[in-house]
Structure 1
Amino acid sequence: MHIARYGPTDGRRVLLLHGGGVAGWMWEPLRAHLGDEHRILIPDLPGHGRSADEPYVSHAQTTAALAGLLEDEARPAMVVGFSLGAQLAVHLASAHPRLVDHAVIVSAQAVPMRATRPTLALLGATAGLARREWFARLQARQLFVPDELVAEYVQTSAGISRETLLRTVEENLRFTPPPRWRAFPGAASILVGAEEKGLMKRSAAALHRDLPHSALEVVDGCGHGIPLQRPSWLAAHLGPALDAHPDPR
């Protein structure tokens, strides 16, 4: 799994986990607002971007690889995940709480969708569309990808295999929070866009209900794309938690 690393080696660890169908580049607008004093880790998840030659197998396998990354960093991290990445952040915080001191869960589906088989069958039949530039550009608009990153999205979309597409969507649709999420001792922030579908809002409420000490916020003016729609707001939202854990020098 390809990992991009930014900032000083002794900086506060921040792991950014992208959504399905995109790659680590989606965090560039946020990274520009976070400054350069933190140790920012941005993987391209299996099957995506520069990790496209490694098929996505499961949330469990990907979580194990991410835990290994944080073990190597030798310090707990703030983990920020969006959509698919948010589900992974929940998994990681639940299974490895000593590696995660703050989980920021952005737009995670946590209520399983019913009748997933027809959805997956339709997706399998139309998977080839993702390789067509005109379709990818339409999708980029739906996902709030800014103009300067559309070329990255088109390239990433063309590189995702049918196998990875089906596995990530299946894992996403059937996701439920692990039982150990209820016992996560660290700080947690759960974000959902005010303009997202009802399923996403119910999911955010369910995650908060399972972890009552978490903070739940509905973000005005946003759909399913908070990190790309309002990166400056998200950076400001993360700021107090980052400042509360000064980098050891």
Structure 2
Amino acid sequence: MFSTRSGLDDAAPVLLLHGGGVAGWMWDSLRGTLEPCHAVLVPDLPGHGRSAGESYVSHAETVAALSQLLVATVPGRPATVIGFSLGAQLAIRLASEHPELVSQVIVVSAQAQAMPFTNVTLRALGVAAPLARRRWFAKLQARELFIPPHLMAEYIRTSAGITKATLSAAVGDNLRFELPAGWSAFRGRALVMVGRRERRLMRDSADAIHAALPGSERSIIDGCGHGIPLPRPEWFDDRVLHWLSAA
């Protein structure tokens, strides 16, 4: 799994986990904001971006790889983990299964209720998968994530590199995701964010994530749908810095 490390070597580490269909480039703005005072780790998850040659297998396998990344790059220093969508589900599992590696978590737009008829949805995705390589289709999908114009070329390139196997595995685990038992036992700080314009399922999921972890903070972002860090990077960066500084 490809990853980059930047910022201050000996500072508090932050791990940034992107969503499905995008890659580590979605965090370029936040990365630059954090680098003066943090060690910033940004992987391209399996099957995405510069890790496109390594198919996404499962959330479980990816969380295991992320735990190894933290142990190898910032040993003995628990990290703040910030995840969006697919990456937010991984952040929850990482904090639940490896709490010794995670000091605090920001969960952005995570689905936390398993959807019915997952197999039907996956079959439809399998049929549509070749369209991801078409520029016009990628642009339609980009609207759902509010990809800004200056990142459109990166999105189209990433979308074209995602295989049917990766799409099926990542979306399948995404749709089947439920909160792990260990989430309620996590002792670090947690911020749960969701856009007010997101689907009811996503807003209900944010409520469930927050309710399952006493002491967590829930934040509903006015004027936002799915993709909070992308259309409002300056606002999001400031919100993250403010939350981190309050630790």
- When the two structures are superposed, what TM-score results if normalisation uses the length of structure 2? 0.96
Residue 80 of structure 1: SS of its match in structure 2?
strand
Letter in 1 for 2:120: P
Residues 91/193 of structure 1: CA separation in 2 closer, same or farther (3 Å cut): same
Rounded Cα–Cα distance in structure 2 between residues aligned with 1:35 and 1:195 = 31
Listed as ranges, the gaps of 5+ residues in structure 1 are: none
Q: 1:30 — aligned with what?
A: 30
Deviation at 1:244, TM superposition (A): 4.9
Rounded Cα–Cα distance in structure 2 between residues aligned with 1:35 and 1:13 = 10
Q: Is this contact kept in 1: 2:34–2:40, CA < 8 A?
A: no
Q: Is this contact kept in 2: 1:14–1:78, CA < 8 A?
A: yes
Rounded Cα–Cα distance in structure 2 between residues aligned with 1:87 and 1:137 = 25
Deviation at 1:239, TM superposition (A): 1.5
CA offsets per residue over residues 115-134 of structure 1, 9 Å max, x none? 11111111111110001111
Deviation at 1:148, TM superposition (A): 0.8
CA offsets per residue over residues 115-169 of structure 1, 9 Å max, x none? 1111111111111000111111221122111111100001000100000001111
Task: Map residues 26-175 of structure 1 onto 2, 5 A cutoff.
Answer: 26-72=26-72, 73-74=74-75, 75-175=77-177
Q: 1:19 — aligned with what?
A: 19
Q: 1:209 — aligned with what?
A: 211
Q: Is the deviation greater in 80-89 or in 117-126? A: 117-126
Q: Is this contact kept in 2: 1:33–1:231, CA < 8 A?
A: no
Residue 217 of structure 1: SS of its match in structure 2?
strand
Q: 1:7 — aligned with what?
A: 7
Rounded Cα–Cα distance in structure 2 between residues aligned with 1:209 and 1:133 = 41
Q: Is this contact kept in 1: 2:29–2:237, CA < 8 A?
A: no
Q: Is the deviation greater in 131-140 or in 233-242? A: 233-242
Letter in 1 for 2:148: P
Deviation at 1:214, TM superposition (A): 0.5
Deviation at 1:35, TM superposition (A): 4.7
Deviation at 1:241, TM superposition (A): 4.0
Q: Is this contact kept in 1: 2:186–2:213, CA < 8 A?
A: yes
Letter in 2 for 1:4: T
Runs of 4+ in structure 1 off by over 4 angstroms are none
Listed as ranges, the gaps of 5+ residues in structure 2 are: none
Letter in 2 for 1:148: H
Rounded Cα–Cα distance in structure 2 between residues aligned with 1:35 and 1:204 = 29
Q: Is this contact kept in 2: 1:208–1:214, CA < 8 A?
A: yes
Letter in 1 for 2:33: H
